[in-house]
Homo-oligomer: A and B are copies of this chain.
Amino acid sequence: MTELRLAINSERIGRNLDRLAEFSDAPSPAVTRVLFTPTDMLGRQFICDLMQQVGLQVRLDAAGNIFGRWLGTKPELPPVATGSHCDAIPHSGRYDGTVGVIGAIEAIAALRESGFQPQRSLEVIMFNAEEPTRYGIGCLGSRLMSGRLTPPAAADLRDEQDETFEITRTAAGCVGSLDTVPLPAGCYRAFVELHIEQGPLLEQQNLPIGIVTAIAAPAALRVTFVGEGGHAGAVLMPQRKDALLPAAELALAAERAARELGGADTVATVGILEVHPGAINSIPSRCEMTVDVRDIDLVRRDQVLTSIQQQAASVGNRRNVATTVTLINADPPARCDETVVAAIENATRAANLPSLKMISRAYHDSLFMALIAPTSMIFIPCRGGVSHRPDEYASPAAIQAGVEVLARTLAQLSQE
């Protein structure tokens, strides 16, 4: 592949990222784009248009995942796929996920413009709802595709308005049965995802490319405390069953569990804590919260998770409030495929870029694609290692390097 002469159009990538960021329910630079909202529908159309502009054949599956295929000279062989997501949690940034979709489309454009012709077909996938914003579960699209989430379970997922995914996807124009979404193992020769690191290592070591060898194991709980409301002036302290106070205790207990029971790589986060009824002069009667626990070590993660579950029950019991603990997900870690890792390594050499083999601590569609396809990821540095914030940033040069490595990786895998 060394003879490939690629011109990655960095300016076009930046312009497309900026245009996509305009489809947002939060004021710039913050981005909020939640599955199948009117804003998301516009963003999805924008991505379909970009795919068509570079000559990809676009199709939707019944769940709303978007596929764009460049037919190879041997279309009977399993294709090579790449892609990521374009949804954005409330008040986040413009690079998480989007770099792996818009960057993939640009990689295809650069390959086409170079005169390259793939043997295996190349496919860009935009997975829907990688972020758990709407349904409380991450990687909805790739989970379904990989079979880790069954079609009936997906159909019955409910958002905050108690609207099912089945209803929402139908209203959003997705046709066909969800039963058609899962793909068999072996349907793709490989899956490669380009993504910002969401951590500080590449920036700290001044390296342009990370090659992911494993993806950490995330788990999440939903905890609900139901106590007794009442007027903040009228119910004396000993008579109260305040639902917020056990939630406050649990948030602090989760932090302690991660720090004391976990290792350096263990993290626990209470990202959602909602108080009902939520009035200045009203004792909280119900409190709902989530606890997200991650680690690269599955056993240690589950020890921390179990400790938090036990403490939820004991604090609720001590404060005499009803406590419900639900496991939202507890996914196993993914090992990346050696042949795909080797292809990325070859690509970095061809592009003359140094790289680091590393572990992904964040959740990705690759975690699920790894169940049905040989998978790895290409990481690029992001400023300060931050993501999920309006000031999330990856430089044009960093993105350009990532897209070049992606293009070379796809080219190589498509000829094998």
Contacts and interface: CB of A to CB of B under 8 A. Distances in A.
Contacts of A247: 248
A22 interface: no
Given A198-B233, A235-B267, A252 B245 contact: yes
Interface string A128-144: 00011100101000000
B279 A236 contact: no
Nearest to A382: B234
Chain copies in complex: 2
A229 B389 CA distance: 6
B220 A237 contact: no
A328 B266 CA distance: 40
Given A231-B362, A388-B230, A281 B271 contact: yes
B281 A198 contact: no
Interface residues of A, number: 72
A150 interface: no
A216 interface: yes
Given A230-B386, A231-B388, A387-B231, A133 B271 contact: no
A248 B258 contact: no
Contacts of A229: 91, 386, 388-389
Interface string A385-408: 111110000000000000000000
Given A233-B218, A363-B233, A272 B266 contact: no
A346 interface: no
Given A199-B234, A232-B294, A361-B234, A281 B244 contact: no
A275 to B, nearest CB: 5
A183 interface: no
Q: Which of A229, A231, A278 has the largest number of chain B CB atoms within 10 A?
A: A231
Contacts of A252: 245, 248-249, 252
Contacts of A234: 197-199, 361-362, 385-387
A251 interface: yes
Nearest to A284: B271
Contacts of A133: 279
Interface in A250-298: 251-252, 255, 258-259, 262, 264-285, 290, 292, 294
Contacts of A414: none
Nearest to A278: B272
B388 A92 contact: no
B138 A281 contact: yes
A89 to B, nearest CB: 4
A265 B248 contact: no
A55 interface: no
A332 interface: no
A281 B270 contact: no
Contacts of A268: 237
A346 to B, nearest CB: 28
A147 interface: no
A231 B198 contact: yes
A90 interface: yes
A233 B281 contact: no
A267 B230 contact: no
Contacts of A138: 280-281
10 contacts: A89-B281, A131-B281, A218-B233, A231-B362, A235-B386, A242-B269, A247-B248, A248-B252, A272-B275, A277-B388
